[in-house]
Amino acid sequence: MPTPFLYSNVTYAPESKETELCQVGPFANRLPSVKGRVFAESDEALLIAAGVPDTKCWRQLARSGCILMRHYSKLQSIVAESGISGNRIGIYISANAGATDWQSAWELAKAGDQDFFSVLNRTLPRKHIFKQGAYGCATQLGIFLGITGPQLTFLEPEAQWCPLLDQARFDLKEGNVEMAILAAANALEDPLAVYYESKSDPALAPVEATACVVLKKGDLQFLPGNPLPPRNLHNFYGPARSVIDLVEAMHHE
């Protein structure tokens, strides 16, 4: 039976966009080669394509947040048409933090005692400090959509488990919210993080991806149980894995 969800979507980086992820920047020739699929657009280009009200917010959003904004246009329409007050809508996000500024760290490591503070003042990433956190994703999406209800970020959901779903289900059942937006994104911008992830399971190919589903209380009867049945086991989707499994499970119920 078809499910009545207002919106559910999964978007993967195209297969044609496979690129080197580890041997880049200060890690060139220092880490093993790991290739994966990424969105070709820069952070700013992702926001321009998404049609968000302020594309300059890429300066304070981790790349995962910029990828997640691919859902903005559809979510804007849903929120506007629902007539639900912004304080009765919850946002539940799963995303990875932005990349560490490894180039600056490398320059500091090579600086001698006399040059350390001058190099520190030159490389200190003041304007990039907010990009290194994932928590801004839910906040920025809430600002764009006019949502002032719960805004929660989950950094590393375990495989086959969707904590976003648990919290959204609770809030909908208890009447804390009338609508729940669950969204997740995986970015592959940090070479060292990609390397450690690839070591944990070399068989999985890293892929940038994003998934989103919008729920109301009446939709809960159609949801699959938690833990979720595993789906695509050939790719690594990072913190987006649980929501991708949720959307795919919903469409296979």
Encode pLDDT of 136-180 as tens digits.
889 999 999 999 999 998 876 555 567 888 899 999 999 999 999
The answer to whether residues 81 and 89 touch, using CB atoms and an 8 Å cutoff, is no
Give alpha helix (H) positions in the chain.
43-50, 63-68, 72-82, 102-110, 116-123, 136-145, 163-173, 191-200, 241-252
- In this structure, are residues 146 and 179 in contact, taking their beta carbons and an 8 Å threshold? no
pLDDT band, very low/low/confident/very high, at 2 (cuts 50, 70, 90): very low
CB count within 10 Å of CB 76 equals 17
Q: Are 241 and 157 in contact (CB under 8 A)?
A: yes
Q: Which residue has the tokens 């729920």?
A: 215
Tell me the C-alpha distance between 220 and 225, whole Å: 10
The model's pLDDT over 35-80, given as tens digits with 9 standing for 90+, comes to 999 999 999 999 999 999 999 888 888 899 999 999 999 999 999 9
pLDDT computed for residue 156 by the predictor: 62
Binning the chain into helix, strand and coil, the percentages to the nearest 5 are 45, 15, 35
Angle of CA points 62, 59, 121, to nearest 5°: 105
Which two three-digit tokens encode residue 16?
A: 């044609």
Residues 242/10, Cβ–Cβ less than 8 Å:
no
**Least confident interval from 8-17, 110-119, 175-184:** 110-119
Q: Over pLDDT 70: what percentage of the chain?
A: 87
Q: Does an H or E element contain 30, and which?
A: none
